[in-house]
Structure 1
Amino acid sequence: MPHFSVCSPLPDPEEFLHCLLSQTLRAEPFLKLSSGQEAYHHQLFVEKDEKLIMPTVQQLFEQSFLASGIKLKEVHSHKKRMTHEANALKVPTDFTVLQEHCVIPRLYMELFAVVCIATSHYVTFVKSGPGPDAPWCFFDSMADRKGEQNGYNIPEVVLCPDLGRWLAEDWDKQLLSSSQSTMPDYIKRLFSDAYMCLYQSPDLLMYR
């Protein structure tokens, strides 16, 4: 893979993700295909299914694999599979004592930014504060332009009221009860053009 620079005029998002996972995090490819190829991500290509009103990512993932004729070389083992080999887990003694009087809580991450890339141009929805009621803003670094070749871009930041409400747990009910004509333009942009979602841990931010 060629050298990737975040300072290039139009950095490709797939190159950025590949660089982040392979070079920075040094993670093993998540997908191992029957063709012998390996990949960190899979781009979804699906046709609209009228039976699915609010499809999940898992359903879209399976549809895309079926439509593209892709098969996985490795899958997770499961006791119901004929070739599954069960292995006893070796739990450290310290943990067996700990679980009797201490419950390890789940770590919930907070969505704080969404990157979109329509028309080969990055724009971002950014949360401007902590907590679920914090307002969201839309940032476009090239909202307008002054001049031609020797000109310059004019950035813009726009407040997005009620965006947090659309991102609440009952967001699917709101989408089903709202027609496209009544949805704000920035909500349509967020749901149709979201490319990368960024999360953070509110608890870990206390130690910065």
Structure 2
Amino acid sequence: MVTVEVDPVRVESRLATGAIGCPTCRNGVLGGWGYARARQIEGLSDPVRPRRARCRACAVTHVLLPVTVFLRRAYAAERIWAALTARAEGAGHRRIGAGLGMPAATVRGWLRRAAQRLEAIRSWFLGIAVTAGVDVRIPDGSGCPWRDALAAVATATAAIRFRFGAAGLFGAVMPDRVAVAASGGRLLAPEWPPPRS
């Protein structure tokens, strides 16, 4: 799976010019290879039909997932991020679910997965901020792991905005999209974070 911008015309243009590198072999570039099945994502107006691509060197196929969705989640990244933000402000899963109009059990699953890796989220996104930014100010710890993790994502978002502008490389630079792009859509996936090389 490869995270790409939302605009399908830009994705097609990048595929045609060989501008998307293969994450498997790191030497090849991806070219168009059909589409994955369309699916409706809660919080997005149109169904998402991800583009598939195949590496011209190693022949491995990849799904190109837009930066507005996390891998294997039926809700838009913006809605998931709203739930994580509400938790950092002290709300519980039932109140978050009711406020966002989604099942409390779904929210509880996201919160449990995120709670298992709050320190990993914090350190990963502070690393992204330092890599992307100039004179990045690392936020002081607040004593709440949830607020500290979200502050790290906010710091990374600010560093990326400063370096690439408000439109960024994948569209509007917002914390939910930064969380998707910087984690490869896998922020809530079992295998994230990857080992540092």
Q: TM-score range by the shorter chain?
A: under 0.3
Please identify which structure carries the higher helix content.
2
By relative contact order (CA 8 Å, sep 6+), the higher-ranking structure is 2
What's the TM-score, normalizing by structure 1? 0.21
Please identify which structure carries the higher strand content.
1
Larger Rg: 1 or 2?
1
